[in-house]
Chains A and B, each alone.
Chain A
């Protein structure tokens, strides 16, 4: 007969509770690791998916994610002329807070260089890509808008024609894709006071340029995305752009590095540190629980020795129970993670290899704890039954 299993069956509610407790710890660890993965994935989402080989940004700056960047709106023409450049797109991204049906919403407005880019690199949940040069938007679910909603941004109303899931910027704000021109218009939003002041500063009257940009800076874009020809010499393009003096050029790898190691490194370190703390707590708690389970049974273990049970019987009972708790808790932890984390405000990535690593750690902890319990159990003498 299987002693470990009989004991579990007899004390089932207690075992279930223990397992649930350990399961919650595993869930918390999964969540912490998943949060880390999620933040990294979110931060790199645009850089990885937008399909640009090179980013031409403001000179002397490492924009547009790590620092702000502003380049003239016609910079794309200049870049397009460089040998080896296959295509260019203009890129704008602005954080925007707006009111929708009495709710305060946030979005990271991202410009698509329509009609070259209608958003096809974005994975739609429902709806369609941009069809018109103006007043259409693809919004992420996390913003809180729905397909068909009309939302006022800047001076205009935009209709949500497509929906995405899980497309956010580095700080977790949902992305809303509009055309670059619309994005620039939204970024230009000013109070009429500001508009007047800006115009005065520019030495013009309101009447004189009703149709022109209010402030020169506002008609700038953040970056120019470059796609290279196959086999093009990236360094030649790079040297060429740098020689202009007013522009800097970054590769996709540069952008990833900047995001992870400049903009997010404190946050990443913090989460990693917390993950470490949590893993230590988990290890201690699991060891204690399993060790205490063995301690409780010392009398019975002494009895087993008295009636002549081999050490194998005792070792098996302790180890099986330990791994039953560990294994059950892992299953429970994973199930709860899958169930609960999708409702968390930020993405929690449950990476199979991360979870496998966690399972391995739990296995190691269970092994350690049962060894500790076994060591204690083998030390007890049969005659201690009598005390």
Chain B
């Protein structure tokens, strides 16, 4: 095991000033994610999970610490991240609680857009988008606009969009929060499959303990610190 991890966050801290006091949203967190690994981040509300994802996703610089992607130092304290948009587009896929699809585009257009803005020719982008959607069981929905899709379907379109440019790292912030248990598990299962087949490193913030058996590793945050880390899937005891 000599290959650098896909994502490596070192001693990352993020402080927000609110009035006179300073909120330590993140207080020295380290996290490594390897190719093909599916990692869960757990923790109560306000524990810094989203902040960690923003920093790992190069959307915010840490106040302290650094972020490496495949061994390259890409973000550290005080970094101006606007210039990393191209890097983000090619290397990182995001999924959020809300699908945030563009309402005037169909499912396949939403996915194809992510490729077109990366200069993939329109026709190739469309074909690949349809293939991705079909792979996620949405082939018959490719031509529908978001308002015609259920919440679970919208979220799967968002996942297809995150996959569009074949990123090595996928970050998902509570992607199942708006879904019922069964559909939530379907989404996590999808991530499991993506990690296995594509070898992407995937970090998922989740509250749902029922799907934890699908993860390779679980990290628990409280007050901006890692308070627990468990390796290996949490097996649900066989009946």
Same complex for A and B? Answer yes
Q: Is A306 an interface residue (CB 8 A)?
A: yes
B104 lies within 8 A of A308 (CB): no
Q: Is B109 an interface residue (CB 8 A)?
A: yes
Q: Is A383 an interface residue (CB 8 A)?
A: yes
Interface residues in B, total, Cβ within 8 A: 27
Q: Is B60 an interface residue (CB 8 A)?
A: yes
Q: Is B86 an interface residue (CB 8 A)?
A: yes
B85 lies within 8 A of A303 (CB): no
A3 to B114, CA, bound (A): 12
Residues of A within 8 A of B116 (CB): 1
**Contact digits for A292-306, partner B, Cβ 8 Å, 1 yes 0 no:** 000000011001111
- Select one of A3, A7, A385 contacting B100, CB under 8 A: A385
A304 lies within 8 A of B103 (CB): no
B114 lies within 8 A of A307 (CB): yes
B104 lies within 8 A of A306 (CB): no
Q: Is A382 an interface residue (CB 8 A)?
A: yes
Q: Which of B16-24, B72-80, B88-96 touches A?
A: B88-96
A1 to B126, CA, bound (A): 10
Nearest B residue to A11 via CB reads B104
A1 lies within 8 A of B118 (CB): no
A1 lies within 8 A of B102 (CB): no
Interface residues in A, total, Cβ within 8 A: 23
B104 lies within 8 A of A9 (CB): yes
B102 lies within 8 A of A300 (CB): yes
| Given A10-B145, A382-B59, A386-B96: A308 in contact with B88 (beta carbons within 8 A) | yes
B49 to chain A, nearest CB (A): 12
Q: Is A266 an interface residue (CB 8 A)?
A: no
Nearest A residue to B162 via CB reads A307
A306 lies within 8 A of B117 (CB): no
B120 to chain A, nearest CB (A): 11
B85 lies within 8 A of A1 (CB): no
Nearest B residue to A383 via CB reads B59
Q: Is A310 an interface residue (CB 8 A)?
A: yes
**Contact digits for B110-121, partner A, Cβ 8 Å, 1 yes 0 no:** 001110111000
Residues of A within 8 A of B54 (CB): 383
A308 lies within 8 A of B86 (CB): yes
Nearest A residue to B118 via CB reads A308
A300 to chain B, nearest CB (A): 5
Residues of A within 8 A of B145 (CB): 10
Nearest B residue to A385 via CB reads B100
Q: Is B50 an interface residue (CB 8 A)?
A: yes
**Contact digits for B63-89, partner A, Cβ 8 Å, 1 yes 0 no:** 000000000000000000000011011
B105 lies within 8 A of A307 (CB): no
A307 lies within 8 A of B161 (CB): yes
A303 lies within 8 A of B118 (CB): no
A305 to chain B, nearest CB (A): 7
Q: Is B122 an interface residue (CB 8 A)?
A: yes
Q: Is A253 an interface residue (CB 8 A)?
A: no
A308 lies within 8 A of B102 (CB): no
A14 to chain B, nearest CB (A): 11
What are 30 A-B contacts with C-beta separation under 8 Å?
Answer: A1-B105, A1-B109, A1-B112, A1-B122, A3-B105, A3-B113, A6-B104, A6-B109, A7-B104, A10-B103, A10-B145, A11-B104, A300-B103, A303-B100, A304-B102, A306-B88, A307-B89, A307-B161, A308-B86, A308-B90, A308-B117, A309-B117, A310-B85, A310-B86, A310-B117, A381-B59, A383-B54, A383-B59, A383-B60, A386-B173
Question: Other CB < 8 Å A-B pairs besides A3-B102, A3-B113, A306-B94, 11 of them?
Answer: A3-B105, A9-B104, A299-B100, A300-B102, A307-B94, A307-B113, A307-B114, A310-B117, A381-B59, A383-B60, A386-B96
